[in-house]
Amino acid sequence: TKAVTVDEGFVNTGSTTSDITFLDGEKGVLRYRGYAIEDLAAHCDFVEVAYLLIYGELPKLEDLESFRHNLRQHTMLHEDITKFYDGFQHDAHPMAILSSVVMALSTFYNDSLGFDDPKDIDRCVMRLMAKVPTIASYAHKKSIGQPMVYPKNSLGYCENFLHMMFSVPAEEYEIDPVHAEALNLLLIVHADHEQNCSTSTVRMVGSSDANLFASISAGICALWGPLHGGANEACVSMLERIREDGGNVAKYVEMAKKKDSGFRLMGFGHRVYKNYDPRAKIIKAACDRLLQSQQIHDPIFHIAQELEQVALTDDYFIERKLYPNVDFYSGVIYRALGIPVEMFTVLFAMGRLPGWIAHWIEMRNSPGKRINRPRQVYTGPTKRPLTPIEQR
C-alpha cells in the first residue's frame, strides 16, 4: 500500500476527472462544457444551460422544447408532500425545508430508485428540476403564513417561480420581465463550478450508489454553510450591519484583517480564483443595470461598491489575492426582486441543481467509478491499557 498523504481542505487533491466545467482561477476564466460563462449569460436561458450541463451539448430547438415540456409535466408536488410543511416550525430556515423535502421526494418515487432502467434517472432529473422551484416557493409561503400557490405551466421557469413566490390566491402577481431576466442570469452563473464543496458532497454520497434525491439533499446541506452558498445571505446581513453602523466601511475592512476578530468579509475570497471572479463581474454589471432601469436606490449597493474599492486597494487583500466572489453582489439583485434574505441560498441551490445532477451522472457513468473513501493519518493515542469503569 502507498503511504497516505494528507491535504487538509483538498487544496491540491483532484478527486476526479471531469468534462463538465473548466475553471482557470489565475486568469478568472469559467466555461461550461467549453462555452464561456459570459456567452452563456448573454445568449441563453437557464433551462437551455441546464440541458447543456446535464446532456453535454446545447440543445437544438426541438430538444429544448421537449425538455421544457417534460419539465412542465412535473412541476406539481404530490398533495401529501405539502403536509410536510405543516410539521415545520413557522420560522424554519428554508434551506432546511428544501433539503428535507427533496429527500422526502424519494419516499414518493420508491419504485424507481434502483435506477435499473436509464429512463428512471431521466425521470428523476425531470422531477428534481421541475419540483425544486415549487418546493422552494412553498417554503417561502410557509414562512410568511400565506397559502401555497400552484405552479402555472404556461409560464417560463423563472416566471413560474416568481409567480409561486409572489402571487396570492386573490391576486395574481404581475411578473416584471426585467425581474425574470435578472433571475435567469443569476441561475445561469450559479449553475456549476466544478468540484466545490456541495458538488463534491453530491459525488461523494452518490459514489455509494445512493439515489439522486439523497445525493442532492446532501448537496443542499453542504451549500447551506456560510463559507459556501450561505455567504450570499451572510454578505447582505454584513452590508446591512455596516449601514446601520453608519456606513464606516474602512472599520470593517480593518476588522476583517485581524484574525482574532473572527470576522471575514463575506463574499470575498475564493479557493480557486486568485483574480476577479468572472461571475461577480457579470453579476455586478447586471446589478448596476437593474437598479438603474428600475430607479432603485439601494444603500446596500453603494456600501458594497465602497467596500470593494477599499478592500481592493488594501495590501492585505492584494497580497492574498482576495476579490469579490459570486456571493458579493447577488444579494443586491435578489433584494431588488423582493426576495427575502433567508431565501438567497435557496436561489443558489436552484441554480446549482443542474450542475449537481450533471456531476452525479458523470460520476455514475465513469468507467473507473469506485466508492469515494479517503484515507487519514491517525494522530490519536497509541495502544493503551483499558481501566475498568469502577477503577477510573
Tell me the C-alpha distance between 234 and 232, whole Å: 5
Exposure string (b/e) for 370-385, b if CB count within 10 Å is 16 or more? eeeeeeeeeeeeeeee
Site string for ligand CMC, 196-215 (x = CB under 6 A): x-------------------
Q: How many CB atoms are closer than 10 A to CB 64?
A: 16
Strands (E), 114-174: none
Instruction: Give the shortest CB-42-to-ligand CMC separation in angstroms.
Output: 22
Residues between 157 and 196 that touch ligand CMC (CB under 6 A): 196
Of residues 40, 231, 287, 349, which one binds ligand CMC by CB under 6 A? Answer: 231
Of residues 74, 93, 264, 359, which one binds ligand CMC by CB under 6 A? Answer: 264
Of residues 327, 331, 354, 356, which one binds ligand CMC by CB under 6 A? Answer: 327
Asked if 352 is part of the footprint of ligand CMC (rule: CB under 6 A), the reply reads no
Instruction: Give the shortest CB-279-to-ligand CMC separation in angstroms.
Output: 8
Of residues 267, 278, 331, 355, which one binds ligand CMC by CB under 6 A? Answer: 267
Residues between 1 and 20 that touch ligand CMC (CB under 6 A): 9
User: In Å, how far from its chain's centre is CA 75?
Assistant: 20
Asked if 227 is part of the footprint of ligand CMC (rule: CB under 6 A), the reply reads yes
Instruction: Give the shortest CB-136-to-ligand CMC separation in angstroms.
Output: 17
C-beta of residue 308 within 8 angstroms of C-beta of residue 280: no
**Three cell numbers, residue 118:** 436509464
Q: Which stretch binds ligand CMC (CB under 6 A): 88-96, 156-164, 177-185, 267-275?
A: 267-275
327 is a catalytic site residue: yes
Of residues 44, 130, 158, 266, which one binds ligand CMC by CB under 6 A? Answer: 266
Tell me the C-alpha distance between 270 and 23, whole Å: 12
Instruction: Give the shortest CB-286-to-ligand CMC separation in angstroms.
Output: 17
Of residues 67, 268, 356, 360, which one binds ligand CMC by CB under 6 A? Answer: 268
DSSP 224-278: HSTTTTTHHHHHHHHHHHHHHTTS-HHHHHHHHH-GGG----TTB--SS-SS--H
Burial class (CB in 10 A: 0-12, 13-18, 19+), 97: buried
**Three cell numbers, residue 8:** 487538509
Asked if 43 is part of the footprint of ligand CMC (rule: CB under 6 A), the reply reads no
Residue found by looking up cell 450533471 in the block: 358
> 74, 179, 327, 359: which one is catalytic?
327
Kindly state the helix (H) or strand (E) to which residue 127 belongs, with its residue range: helix 118-144
Q: Which stretch binds ligand CMC (CB under 6 A): 100-108, 125-133, 318-326, 360-368?
A: 318-326
Asked if 330 is part of the footprint of ligand CMC (rule: CB under 6 A), the reply reads no
C-beta of residue 54 within 8 angstroms of C-beta of residue 192: no
Q: Which stretch binds ligand CMC (CB under 6 A): 116-124, 206-214, 244-252, 320-328?
A: 320-328
Cβ closer to ligand CMC: 151 or 229? 229
List the one residue out of 278, 267, 268 whose CA is nearest residue 188.
Answer: 278
Instruction: Give the shortest CB-267-to-ligand CMC separation in angstroms.
Output: 5
Asked if 156 is part of the footprint of ligand CMC (rule: CB under 6 A), the reply reads no
> 193, 270, 277, 359: which one is catalytic?
270
Q: How many CB atoms are closer than 10 A to CB 48?
A: 18
270 is a catalytic site residue: yes
C-beta of residue 185 within 8 angstroms of C-beta of residue 71: no
List the one residue out of 247, 246, 236, 243 whose CA is nearest residue 332.
Answer: 236
Of residues 140, 325, 329, 333, which one binds ligand CMC by CB under 6 A? Answer: 325
Q: Which residue is nearest to ligand CMC (CB)?
A: 269
Interface residue list for ligand CMC (CB under 6 A): 9, 196, 227-229, 231, 256, 264-271, 320, 322, 325-327
